[in-house]
Amino acid sequence: MKIDLIISADDIKEEKVKNKTAVVIDMLRATSVITTALNNGCKRVVPVLTVEEALKKVKEYGKDAILGGERKGLKIEGFDFSNSPMEYTEDVVKGKTLIMTTTNGTRAIKGSETARDILIGSVLNGEAVAEKIVELNNDVVIVNAGTYGEFSIDDFICSGYIINCVMDRMKKLELTDAATTAQYVYKTNEDIKGFVKYAKHYKRIMELGLKKDFEYCCKKDIVKLVPQYTNGEIL
Amino acid sequence: MKIDLIISADDIKEEKVKNKTAVVIDMLRATSVITTALNNGCKRVVPVLTVEEALKKVKEYGKDAILGGERKGLKIEGFDFSNSPMEYTEDVVKGKTLIMTTTNGTRAIKGSETARDILIGSVLNGEAVAEKIVELNNDVVIVNAGTYGEFSIDDFICSGYIINCVMDRMKKLELTDAATTAQYVYKTNEDIKGFVKYAKHYKRIMELGLKKDFEYCCKKDIVKLVPQYTNGEIL
């Protein structure tokens, strides 16, 4: 099995994704939100690229649909929830359809549509994602959402963590140099938080007063579920 | 001063390079060859993209022109020299014009043409490049040639080394996450060689029996010169 890594949503090239197992990562915070919401009983997540599309979709899905996401890290006007995983508790998401649009994460999901399987990864469910990767037994590309089309330390180390979880389960792996480097960065910073503090994105999260979100998004193995994106929906 | 990093010749975007100081890196081995040849008295290096172009240029430059480069790491038929820095000794390069085409390095140089200044960097001249960066006092983008359009560990750690040399000279620096990560990888592997061994490109170099080239290309600060590319020529 080969594992490759794409550093941001802007760097996705179809030939790198096609027919593979894609793992989309936007640990601060889109893929942590999706994982948390589904784990708390949300029925499905529908990622869309624009606010307009979100407002259209919410009508299509009817009364059980809720709106979540962010622009510049902040809640969008008229939306029910922001991009904070802490808001997506069981009492508000159970049985609901979450229509979601974020700056980086939803673009990375949509950009990976030619993959055979699309998994949603985060630190929260890293072990479960690795389990699923082994089960699918196909070449893997880890797609980092990045931040505004740039390489982002948070997603890179999260990728390294997931690669490391796969290595614990499977000996015969071929990593590209990008994947090897991500695993190295994780392996030398296993607490994750210490290194994420060097990320530009971390500074933005702190400016917005989202320290609790940050702490939560760095927790390993608290979710056993692996969200999968198929035909426009994450289940 | 800001320092950014582009992971491969395929990932160059004009807006990331325009009007900046670009530092092109292909440490194994094009930029080590260029640095070595000029340091040994070569008059100029003319990088071109194709073998056809090289054969045309060599006629233009006349009797003092020599041909060097590689395809798949090997010497090109009809060329005088391969891509091994060891071949470019004073007795063969002094006063000559080297017409050169390589798989990754020359593409990275050509792709950086919108930069204000284009410096040629390697481990060999890392300290001198840092000195020049400080002198130019402009935002910097380090352009990794990469290997066949991919992120390559050798160029990434070499970038980290040069960034570290700049940090030794200048306190107020703003690094992108990619630049921060490269500097981290270097800082935790200061001998360079130990980490380059994880590179796919390293395996290729060893398969070709080029261990001596590898050892040479990892030597720090043995060249005090900084080649600069202007109007099609490196001086």
User: How many angstroms separate the CA atoms of B113 and B20, rounded?
Assistant: 10
What confidence category does residue A169 fall into, taking pLDDT thresholds of 50, 70 and 90? very high
Q: Which ipTM score applies to this complex?
A: 0.96
Which chain B residues are within 8 Å of A176, Cβ to Cβ? Answer: 150-151, 200
Rounded Cα–Cα distance for residues A213 and A23 (Å): 22
**Residues in Cβ contact with A20 at an 8 Å cutoff, skipping those fewer than 6 apart:** A4, A115, A116, A138, A139, A140, A141
Q: Chain A residue with minimal CA distance to B176?
A: A200
pLDDT in tens, A12-33: 999 999 999 999 999 999 999 9
Chain mean pLDDT for chain A: 97
* CATH assignment of the domain containing B201: 3.90.1560.10
Strand segments, DSSP code E, in B32-127 are 44-47, 65-69, 97-101, 117-121
CA atoms within 13 A on the CB side of B200: 17
Are the C-beta atoms of A72 and A41 separated by less than 8 Å?
Answer: no
Q: Where on the phi/psi map is residue B108: left (φ > 0), alpha (ψ -120 to 50), or beta?
A: alpha
In this prediction, residue A146 carries a pLDDT of: 96
Task: Name the interface residues of A facing B (CB cutoff 8 Å).
Answer: 5, 7, 11, 147, 150-153, 156, 176-178, 180-181, 184-185, 188, 195, 198-201
Q: What is the pLDDT of residue A123?
A: 98
**CA-to-CA distance for B27 and B179, rounded, in angstroms?**
17
Contact A184 B180 (CB under 8 A): no
How do residues B33-60 score in pLDDT, each as one tens digit? 999 999 999 999 999 999 999 999 999 9
Judge whether A46 and A232 are in contact, CB under 8 Å: yes
Q: The pTM is what?
A: 0.96
- CB–CB contacts below 8 A, A to B: 61
Strand B233-234, strand B229-230: pairing: antiparallel
Going across the sheet that includes B44-47, the strands are B65-69, B97-101, B44-47, B233-234, B229-230
Residues of chain B with pLDDT under 70: none
Domain interval for residue A174 = 1-232
The contacts of residue A120 (CB under 8 Å, 6+ apart) are A23, A24, A31, A34, A35, A109, A226, A227, A228, A229, A234
**A153 Cα to chain B: minimum distance (Å):** 6
| Contact assignment for A151 to B7 by CB distance below 8 Å | yes
Give me chain B's average pLDDT, please. Answer: 97
Report the number of distinct structural domains present in chain B. Answer: 1
Short-list A146, A199, A126, CA closest to A26: A146
- When pLDDT is cut at 50, 70 and 90, the band that residue A42 belongs to is very high
The rounded distance, in Å, linking the Cα atoms of B226 and A204 is 37
How confident is the model over A120-160, as pLDDT tens digits? 999 999 999 999 999 999 999 999 999 999 999 999 999 99
- Shortest CA gap A192–chain B (Å): 14
How high is the pLDDT of residue B220?
A: 98
